[in-house]
Amino acid sequence: MPPRPQPARPVSKHDYKAQVLLLREELLAVQQRLRHATFPVIVLFSGVDGAGKGETVNLLHEWMDPRWIHTHAYTEPSDEERERPEHWRFWRDLPPKGQIGILMNAWYAGPIDQHAHRVIETADFRRQLQRIARFERLLTDDGALILKFLMHLDRDTQRARLKALERDPLTRWRVTDEQWRQARSYDELVEAEAMAVRLTDASQASWSLVDGSDERHRSLVVARTMRGRIAKRLDEQARGRVARGRTARVLMGRAASGAAAKRRGTTAHLARLNMSRTVDKGEYDVELARAQGRLNMLHRKAGKRGVSTTVVFEGWDAAGKGGAIRRVASALDARDYQVIPVAAPTDEERAQHYLWRFWRHLSRAGRMTIFDRSWYGRVLVERVEGFARADEWKRAYAEINDFESQLIDHGVVILKYWVHITKDEQLRRFQQRQQLAHKRWKLTDEDWRNRRRWKAYEDAVDDMVTLTSTRQAPWILVEGNDKNYARLKVLQTLGDRLSKGLEGQ
């Protein structure tokens, strides 16, 4: 039984005018306060055609200050959008902190439509809705306020409205074949919507059901809800009681705290590495050339087939990430890859969720993107140095797994390298750098500071490897005391996985 909104109570024209006058002033005031807030407001509209989604959004723009609202409506993806994971186009449009973004026909539209028209089965639909719920939770955990309106209209009223629009020459253009096609699937759409509402209703991203049959009623309900919810949230923030990070339970079954590995009695992964592995110079030269040649060939094949590759490099300071990246890069055509060095975020990036700055770098089809440090900073440096709160970095494991699974579903091949060296080897390299004039710039005070926290980083690395190694994107630990050995291992495993990734295509 689909959920039903409160039935519309007719509002007289006179009452409506008086209420709107007051509401507009309040909305503008709320909007002004919001500009200085540290959270964004994301507004979604769903519901059958004719229920007044477009009209209501237009009214909101008219009543509020259109400079601080941006509305995006999604239809067919552009070719640049199609070449990235499905959610890329929503990420690029997410409002920064302090602003309102209205997204029409965003992430619900596709799944609901596909399920209503039986393109996807219920099980698949449920899986998609669960992914959406996780995505919304990721945003609300970061502080976002998500308002979701489901505009309802009963079947007969919808048909009558579409027909009335068609009769009027001034509004005829608004009724398309697509709308009649949708109207024929009314029952299936309403049922799919009901299931979406049930599975994605959350405290910070709750659904408001609105009866769309009366224009004045629905306008007042939506505007009042917005004013009320945003004001409430601003008040909470002002009182310092922002409900954040309530969902840090995720995955905590697997790792209740950062000391997870320690409690298991071992810093398992790193300790198990055989750090005395080496390769002799003669073998290295031969194998390097072979591995680079193979990688070149495979990546050209990937380019032709539109298969993208994402490579993540993490590792201790002076572990040799840069050298390994250069050996990979020099096997490729400069036009086909990009190295993204990850340093402090820009202010545009700081105004968004921490994953936003990585989404924006996802490449078009067939290219390789190499991250020199990555989103794993959240569970490494941010965890160890306290830049992220415990609830923030704890839930990041699940968020990251979700992020990567979206890349994988899109066909992206992911590789994640932890380049490892022993503490003694690091000291040797630091000292060497200090002595070499042209390498001195590479050594900073921060490197020495990080070194003092070796143990804490070791725990963090171990949790990271445990919690984010998935079948399709496992961590590859690279024994890096011998640079040549490390470079070879990187090139060879990269070739192996790319080759495997291409087989599946």
Binding site for a copy of itself (CB under 8 A): 25, 28-29, 32, 54, 57-58, 60-62, 65-68, 70-73, 78-80, 102, 104, 173, 300, 322, 325-326, 329-330, 333-335, 338-341, 346-348, 364, 372, 438, 441
Which one, 87 or 262, has the nearer CB to a copy of itself?
87
Which one, 238 or 427, has the nearer CB to a copy of itself?
238
Q: What is the DSSP letter of 476?
A: E
135 by DSSP, 3-state: which?
helix
Q: From the CB of 494, what's the least distance to a copy of itself, in Å? A: 15
One-letter amino acid at 73 equals A
CA distance 278 to 387: 37
Q: From the CB of 483, what's the least distance to a copy of itself, in Å? A: 16
Q: From the CB of 269, what's the least distance to a copy of itself, in Å? A: 27
Q: What are phi and psi of 338, to 5 degrees?
A: -150, 135
Structure tokens at 34: 């919001």
Spatial CA neighbour of 87 closest among 365, 401, 409: 409
Which one, 372 or 459, has the nearer CB to a copy of itself?
372
Q: From the CB of 31, what's the least distance to a copy of itself, in Å? A: 11
Q: Please give the sequence-ordered ranges of beta strands (E in DSSP) within 235-289, or none if there are none.
A: none
Which one, 58 or 203, has the nearer CB to a copy of itself?
58
Q: From the CB of 117, what's the least distance to a copy of itself, in Å? A: 23
One-letter amino acid at 165 equals L
Q: From the CB of 95, what's the least distance to a copy of itself, in Å? A: 12
CA distance 285 to 293: 12
Q: From the CB of 337, what's the least distance to a copy of itself, in Å? A: 8
Q: From the CB of 219, what's the least distance to a copy of itself, in Å? A: 14
Which one, 98 or 245, has the nearer CB to a copy of itself?
98
- For the chain, helix (H) and strand (E) counts, in that order, are 22, 10
* Contact assessment for residue 485 and residue 479, using Cβ atoms and an 8 Å cutoff: yes
CA distance 234 to 221: 20
Q: From the CB of 67, what's the least distance to a copy of itself, in Å? A: 4
Structure tokens at 426: 């690091």
Separation of CA 491 from chain center: 29
Determine what percent of the chain falls in helix, strand and coil, rounding each to the nearest 5: 55, 10, 30
Structure tokens at 148: 């979701």
Which one, 25 or 235, has the nearer CB to a copy of itself?
25
Which one, 161 or 383, has the nearer CB to a copy of itself?
161
Which one, 54 or 411, has the nearer CB to a copy of itself?
54
Tokens 């060095």 identify what position?
341
Q: What is the 3-state secondary structure (H, E, C) of 278-321?
A: CCCHHHHHHHHHHHHHHHHHHHHHHHHHCCCEEEEEEECCCCCH
88-116 per-residue burial string, b: 16 or more CB within 10 A, e: under 16? bbbbeebbebbbbbbbbbbbbbbbbbbbb
Which one, 134 or 483, has the nearer CB to a copy of itself?
483
